[in-house]
Amino acid sequence: MIHTASTQRQESLSMLAHVAGLKAEPWHPDRQSDYVLADLCSETETLPDFLSELVRYLDRNLSVAVVWTSFEELEAVYALLPQARCHFLVDAEDVEAVPILAGALGRRGMNRLHDKDRLVEFSSLHRISDELAEFARTLARIAERDTTQTLADKPVSFRPAPIGGFQPFPTKVVSHSSALTSEKLREIIRLRRQRERFFDNGLFADPAWDILLDLKAAQIEKQMVSVSSLCIAAAVPPTTALRWISAMTESGMLIRQQDPDDARRVFILLSDETSARIEDYFASIADRLVQII
């Protein structure tokens, strides 16, 4: 089902659903659907009410939502909607939804990731996802050349966020003492960004490591990091960053924490296990002569 504020947008999303082999109908909270396509970019006043209604709908029908939102509204949308049942497209082109609607980036398989009997299936799913994602990027590049317009959410990483998140840590790690400081981490981040002065940033996209470095520095500084701030720190388009944040959160590497003073915002933190592993890593390379970035 499709929820949008304009008839023209309803038609474009209906066409998108048709291309993906789906039957599209207008939004109706009492009808069951596999997917909800919700364009919230143009909605402001009615946004909180619809988000609450959508949360109840997704929980009741076990549906998956594909949500278009602007970067300005990202905090509220991400805070209120259930991460495990939503895909967020931030200032993104519709073509980014093709792999999702084709089932390559579905949320339903997440809970079965660690079922040993399904390893082959998930390996195949990952390959299909990559192929569909590359097909979507190719269409986007063709559209960009034809219209001479710049895409708002160009993919810059050759490594998509992993399907179903990451494998959980097998054992508890005891952190070694090290001289890891926020100043050192911030300097590493600056050095990583420095490469973009000389090379295209797509060559070095590594959002997972950028996310971990930023969160560890913030942890040492005793600062909280919002979702939008972390998307910026990931140094990739926000839609890509959100996929990584979601995958890392679902795996337990990161922790999602509601802002006690504002229900429209969530903070992202490192889990104790992830934080310890970062410290162990830097302790293990402390005697190296070469600066690791």
What is residue 155's predicted lDDT score, i.e. its pLDDT? 45
Tokens of 176: 């070694």
Most confident of 126-130, 178-182, 279-283: 279-283
- Residue 270 — pLDDT band, cuts 50, 70, 90? very high
Per-position DSSP letters for the chain, written without gaps between them? -EE-S-HHHHHHHHHHHHHTT----B--TTS--SEEEEE-TT-STTHHHHHHHHHHHHHHHT-EEEEEE-TTTHHHHHHHS-GGGEEEEES--GGGGHHHHTTTT-STTGGGTT-GGGHHHHHHHHHHHHHHHHHHHHHHHHHHHHHT---TT----SSPPPTT--PPPSS--PPPP----HHHHHHHHHHHHHGGGTS-GGGS--HHHHHHHHHHHHHHTT---BHHHHHHHTTS-HHHHHHHHHHHHHTTSEEEEE-TT-TT-EEEEE-HHHHHHHHHHHHHTTT-SSPP-
Euclidean distance between CA atoms 244 and 211, whole angstroms: 9
What is residue 102's predicted lDDT score, i.e. its pLDDT? 79
What is residue 288's predicted lDDT score, i.e. its pLDDT? 74
- Residue in the structure block whose two tokens are 């009492």: 30
- Residue 28 — pLDDT band, cuts 50, 70, 90? very high
What is residue 183's predicted lDDT score, i.e. its pLDDT? 93
Predicted confidence (pLDDT) at residue 33 exceeds the cutoff of 90: yes
Predicted confidence (pLDDT) at residue 22 exceeds the cutoff of 80: yes
| Chain mean position to CA 236 | 10
| Chain mean position to CA 69 | 13
What is residue 211's predicted lDDT score, i.e. its pLDDT? 96
Instruction: Convert the pLDDT of each residue in 123-152 to its tens digit.
Output: 444 455 555 555 555 666 656 665 554 444
Euclidean distance between CA atoms 132 and 136, whole angstroms: 6
Predicted confidence (pLDDT) at residue 66 exceeds the cutoff of 90: yes
- Residue 29 — pLDDT band, cuts 50, 70, 90? very high
- Residue in the structure block whose two tokens are 């509204």: 73
Predicted confidence (pLDDT) at residue 171 exceeds the cutoff of 80: no
Phi-psi region of 252 (alpha: psi -120 to 50; beta: other; left: phi over 0): left
What is residue 100's predicted lDDT score, i.e. its pLDDT? 86
Instruction: Convert the pLDDT of each residue in 214-250 to its tens digit.
Output: 999 999 999 999 999 999 999 989 998 999 999 999 9
**Mean of all residue pLDDT scores within the chain:** 80
What is residue 122's predicted lDDT score, i.e. its pLDDT? 38
Predicted confidence (pLDDT) at residue 156 exceeds the cutoff of 60: no
What is residue 184's predicted lDDT score, i.e. its pLDDT? 92
Q: For residue 286, what is the DSSP state?
A: T
| Residue 69 near residue 41, CB atoms below 8 Å | yes
Predicted confidence (pLDDT) at residue 175 exceeds the cutoff of 50: no
Q: For residue 180, what is the DSSP state?
A: -
What is residue 48's predicted lDDT score, i.e. its pLDDT? 81
Euclidean distance between CA atoms 56 and 52, whole angstroms: 7
Least confident of 48-57, 196-205, 275-284: 196-205
Euclidean distance between CA atoms 293 and 290, whole angstroms: 9
What is residue 135's predicted lDDT score, i.e. its pLDDT? 59
The candidate with the shortest Cα–Cα distance to 256, out of 103, 24, 86, is 86
Tokens of 158: 């050759």
- Residue 98 — pLDDT band, cuts 50, 70, 90? confident
